[in-house]
């Protein structure tokens, strides 16, 4: 009787423990999904772990933000790659929401055709793509908006209108490596109370001339849409305010020492600088020789600062690249490729840098190049560079060939080097003015690591290289971009005007992982296939040579009659060709068989072996518990 009671009480305790464990498991799962508890990132590249820069931006949000992810789930039923990427985006957004202490609110919307949600997505400027199920448009973008700190403070139960709205028009899978940066940038810009302030120092008329009705250059008008642009007079400049998020120095000619010192200290105090220099600035309208006999070569340099930053640049050298030469119209209505005017494509742009990752083409003209000085500790990361078919010539030769560009190709000899046309330079920069150490606020060097962006061309800013004009139906000039020059400048300003936390977020690796074993099998099969193809081609050449030798032996004089030797040779070749074709099919079948076998092994491991091992372990554990209980009884 007592044994039965003991056995009954043990069963009751065990049942209660199982119920309690089940309840704890449910609570743990719900808590994990709500507060991201217990999540461990086991990916090799920490894909699901936010960088410290992103965490700094999320933790520092001042006002609540609403995020709406528009994804056409119904229209992407047959697009598994896009659905997989949407899951990646949603998980990153959910991770940010979980770390935001209630400052971020996420909503996922499926904008089905002809719905209010589709109209809303279009109104926010999201870019649909074609190719969805049944030809439907696919929306995949993010809209962020600011909300009042207390949305229902007046008790009316209605949401207040957002103060500020920004959007990512399309999440392009090819830009996945910059996914975290793009989202963090959106959050940072939404959290800013006003447009970032950037400064411009230029000896070129980039801001136009209102007196004569000259409009600002298109690139400056684009910058003014996103930034508060402030023009600085280099001739009178003695100090640069720290409230400037970024400073653009364009074609710095004859800047006084005070202006150079102001730029030097701005960089050392953590300022973000972009410098555009040029060995031949074609938009410089200064006379080559003025009334006083002073010569102006239309070049620019920051030699003193470059030396302090460990950068080499020669304002008397121009990079030619005949393989990227742009075609220009000549005075006699003919056209030719100009080796000093270059159209840089995707191969010449750094697609690991956020400023150039999405660009397709940048047009430049009479460019210089940068290099690191011997012994410097600075690092130079190219953003744009030439091909190895480039050659460096003197800037004087380029100026003299203005009426005869074809002369630049005379005695052309490629240097087999990539010349860096634009770059990021990072390092522990010292001051270029150590003699001013007694001035108030002087820094002898940067506290950590400073960064500047250098571009060896100013002509890429001008409209003539990237803007096409046409007349609209109403007679107004209509602009269209023929290159991404404007996008480049906006991206640079956008990148540098952000916080230091935003700048610290670099591109991540893609979440897409190739099947390396399958790739190895495919490579081996390709090698075998190519070997057989080459064997067939060799035998074909030998047979044709043999047929050519037999040709004179024909005695009938009729061109369509083959000799017995020829017929035998042809028959032998055809039989061998059939045999080789069969071997080619066998190679392909063997390759497919190896791939199928690998797939079957993976399926067996995942579907059969792992569950079987778990079941056996559970049965073994249960048998041992039962045996122990019987012994105790």
| Residues in the chain, overall count | 633
| CA dist list (Å): 28 to 33, 90, 94 | 9, 21, 18
The token pair at 52 is: 């410290």
pLDDT of residue 154: 45
Res 203 pLDDT > 90: yes
pLDDT of residue 571: 72
Rounded mean pLDDT, 368-381? 96
Instruction: Name the residue among 433, 424, 500 with its Cα closest to residue 455.
Output: 424
Q: How far is it, in rounded angstroms, from Cα 502 to Cα 354? A: 11
Under CATH, what is the fold of the domain 52-151+160-190? Glutaredoxin (3.40.30)
Classified as helix, coil or strand, 481 is: strand
User: Tokens 């007694």 appear where?
Assistant: 438
Res 217 pLDDT > 70: yes
Instruction: Name the residue among 576, 573, 359 with its Cα closest to residue 460.
Output: 359
pLDDT digits (tens, 9 = 90+) for 73-117: 988 888 888 898 999 999 999 999 988 888 999 999 999 888 899
Q: Residue 161: pLDDT band by 50, 70, 90 thresholds?
A: very low
Rounded mean pLDDT, 551-575? 60
Listed by start position, the domains of the chain span: 52-151+160-190, 195-286+296-402+415-503, 518-549+567-632
Rounded mean pLDDT, 123-127? 91
pLDDT of residue 527: 59
DSSP assignment string, 293-338:
--B--S----HHHHHHHTEEE-TTEEEEEGGGEEEEE-TTS-EEEE
Do 136 and 55 form a contact (C-beta atoms < 8 A)?
no
Q: What are phi and psi of 582, to 5 degrees?
A: -65, -40
3-state helix, strand, coil in the chain (%, to 5): 45, 20, 40
Res 541 pLDDT > 50: yes
Judge if 52-151+160-190 and 195-286+296-402+415-503 fold alike in CATH terms.
no
Q: Which helix (H) or strand (E) holds 166?
A: strand 165-168
Rounded mean pLDDT, 298-302? 94
Q: How far is it, in rounded angstroms, from Cα 66 to Cα 536? A: 65
Instruction: Name the residue among 213, 222, 199, 297 with its Cα closest to residue 463.
Output: 222
Res 168 pLDDT > 70: yes
| Range with lowest mean pLDDT among 196-205, 286-295, 442-451 | 286-295
Q: How far is it, in rounded angstroms, from Cα 541 to Cα 548? A: 11
Under CATH, what is the fold of the domain 195-286+296-402+415-503? Rossmann fold (3.40.50)
The token pair at 182 is: 């793009």
Q: What are the start-end ranges of the H helices in 497-563? A: 500-503, 516-550
Q: How far is it, in rounded angstroms, from Cα 621 to Cα 627? A: 10
Q: How far is it, in rounded angstroms, from Cα 62 to Cα 190? A: 10
Do 395 and 366 form a contact (C-beta atoms < 8 A)?
yes
Res 548 pLDDT > 70: no
Rounded mean pLDDT, 588-595? 62
Q: How far is it, in rounded angstroms, from Cα 574 to Cα 395? A: 63
Do 247 and 240 form a contact (C-beta atoms < 8 A)?
yes
The distance between the two most distant Cα atoms of the chain, rounded to a whole number of Å, is: 123
pLDDT of residue 189: 85
Q: How far is it, in rounded angstroms, from Cα 295 to Cα 306? A: 24
The rounded Cα 629 to chain-centroid distance in angstroms is 63
Q: What are phi and psi of 349, to 5 degrees?
A: -105, 145
The token pair at 70 is: 């528009």
Q: How far is it, in rounded angstroms, from Cα 185 to Cα 191? A: 10
Instruction: Name the residue among 223, 281, 218 with its Cα closest to residue 468.
Output: 218
Res 328 pLDDT > 50: yes
Q: How far is it, in rounded angstroms, from Cα 33 to Cα 584? A: 53
Residue predicted with more confidence, 41 or 598: 598
pLDDT of residue 627: 76
76-108 in b/e form (b: 16+ CB < 10 A) is beebeebeebbebbeebbbbbbbbbeebbebee
pLDDT digits (tens, 9 = 90+) for 40-85: 554 555 556 788 888 888 888 888 999 999 999 988 888 888 898 9
Res 218 pLDDT > 80: yes
- Number of H helices and E strands in the chain, helices first, is 14, 20
Indicate the average pLDDT of the chain. Answer: 81
pLDDT digits (tens, 9 = 90+) for 485-514: 999 999 899 888 876 666 666 555 454 555
User: Tokens 């063997």 appear where?
Assistant: 590
DSSP assignment string, 36-93:
-TT----STT-TTS--HHHHHHHHT--S-EEEEEEE-TGGGTT-HHHHHHHHHHHHHH
Q: What are phi and psi of 525, to 5 degrees?
A: -65, -40
Res 157 pLDDT > 70: no
Could you tell me whether strands 273-276 and 246-250 are parallel, antiparallel, or unpaired per DSSP bridges? parallel
User: Tokens 């700094």 appear where?
Assistant: 56
Q: Which helix (H) or strand (E) holds 8?
A: helix 2-35
Is the model's pTM score more than 0.75?
no
Rounded mean pLDDT, 595-607? 70
Q: Name the burial class of residue 459, with classes exposed (0-12), middle (13-18) and buried (19+) by CB atoms within 10 angstroms of its CB.
A: buried
Instruction: Name the residue among 113, 130, 118, 127 with its Cα closest to residue 168.
Output: 127
The token pair at 118 is: 């589709």
User: Tokens 């020789």 appear where?
Assistant: 289
Q: Which residues pair with 214 in a beta bridge?
A: 209
Do 319 and 392 form a contact (C-beta atoms < 8 A)?
yes
Q: Residue 536: pLDDT band by 50, 70, 90 thresholds?
A: low
Q: What are phi and psi of 4, to 5 degrees?
A: -65, -40
Which residues make Cβ contacts (< 8 Å) with residue 102, sequence separation at least 6? 64
Specify which of 12-26, 287-301, 324-338, 478-492 reaches the highest per-range mean pLDDT: 478-492
């Amino acid at each position: 009787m007592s044994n039965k009671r003991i056995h009954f009480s043990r069963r009751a305790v065990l049942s209660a423990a199982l119920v309690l464990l089940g309840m704890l498991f449910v609570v743990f799962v719900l808590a994990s999904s709500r507060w991201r508890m217990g999540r461990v990132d086991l990916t090799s590249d920490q894909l699901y772990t936010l960088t410290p820069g992103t965490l700094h931006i999320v933790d520092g949000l001042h006002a609540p933000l609403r995020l709406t992810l528009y994804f056409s789930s119904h229209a992407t039923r047959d697009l598994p790659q896009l659905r997989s990427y949407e899951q990646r985006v949603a998980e990153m957004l959910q991770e940010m929401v979980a770390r935001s202490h209630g400052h971020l609110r996420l909503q996922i919307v499926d904008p089905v055709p002809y719905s209010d949600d589709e109209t809303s997505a279009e109104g926010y400027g999201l870019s649909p793509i074609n190719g969805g199920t049944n030809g439907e448009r696919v929306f995949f973008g993010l809209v962020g908006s600011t909300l009042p700190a207390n949305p229902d403070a007046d008790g009316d139960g209605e949401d207040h209108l957002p103060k500020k709205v920004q959007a990512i028009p399309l999440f392009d899978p090819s830009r996945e490596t910059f996914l975290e940066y793009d989202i963090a940038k959106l959050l940072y810009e939404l959290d800013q109370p006003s447009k970032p302030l950037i400064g411009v120092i230029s000896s070129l008329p980039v801001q136009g001339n209102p007196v004569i009705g000259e409009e600002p250059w298109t690139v400056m008008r684009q910058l003014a849409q996103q930034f508060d642009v402030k023009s600085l007079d280099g001739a009178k400049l003695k100090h640069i305010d720290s409230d400037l998020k970024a400073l653009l120095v364009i074609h710095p000619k004859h800047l006084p020492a005070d202006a150079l010192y102001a730029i030097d200290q701005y960089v050392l105090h953590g300022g973000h600088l972009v410098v555009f220099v040029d060995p031949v600035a074609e938009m410089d309208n200064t006379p080559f020789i003025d009334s006083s006999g002073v010569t102006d070569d239309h070049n620019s340099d920051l030699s003193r600062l470059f030396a302090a930053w460990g950068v080499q640049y020669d304002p008397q050298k121009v990079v030619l690249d005949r393989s990227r030469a742009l075609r220009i119209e000549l005075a006699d209505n003919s056209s030719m490729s100009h080796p000093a005017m270059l159209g840089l494509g995707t191969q010449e742009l750094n697609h690991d840098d956020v400023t150039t990752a999405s660009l397709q083409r940048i047009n430049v003209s009479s460019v210089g190049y940068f290099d690191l000085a011997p012994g410097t500790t600075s690092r130079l990361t190219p953003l744009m560079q030439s091909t190895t078919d480039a050659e460096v010539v003197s800037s004087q030769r380029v100026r003299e060939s203005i009426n005869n560009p074809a002369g630049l190709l005379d005695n052309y000899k490629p240097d087999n080097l990539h010349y860096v046309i634009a770059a990021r330079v990072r390092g522990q920069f010292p001051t270029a003015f150590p003699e001013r150490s007694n001035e108030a606020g002087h820094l002898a060097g940067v506290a950590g690591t400073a960064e500047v962006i250098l571009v060896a061309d100013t002509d890429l800013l001008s409209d003539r290289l990237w803007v096409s004009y046409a007349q609209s139906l109403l007679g107004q000039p209509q602009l269209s971009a023929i290159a991404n020059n404007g996008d480049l400048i906006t991206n640079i300003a956008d990148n540098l005007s952000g916080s230091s936390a935003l700048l610290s977020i670099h591109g991540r690796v893609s979440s897409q992982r190739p099947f390396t074993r399958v790739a190895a099998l495919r490579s081996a099969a390709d090698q075998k296939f190519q070997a057989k193809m080459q064997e067939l081609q060799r035998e074909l050449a030998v047979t044709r040579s043999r047929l050519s030798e037999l040709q004179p032996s024909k005695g009938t004089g009729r061109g369509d009659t083959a000799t017995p030797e020829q017929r035998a040779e042809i028959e032998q070749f055809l039989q061998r060709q059939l045999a080789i074709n069969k071997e080619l099919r066998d190679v392909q079948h063997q390759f497919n068989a190896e791939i199928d076998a690998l797939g079957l092994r993976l399926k067996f491991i995942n579907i059969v072996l792992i569950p079987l091992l778990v079941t056996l372990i559970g049965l073994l554990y249960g048998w041992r518990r039962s045996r122990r209980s019987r012994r105790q009884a």
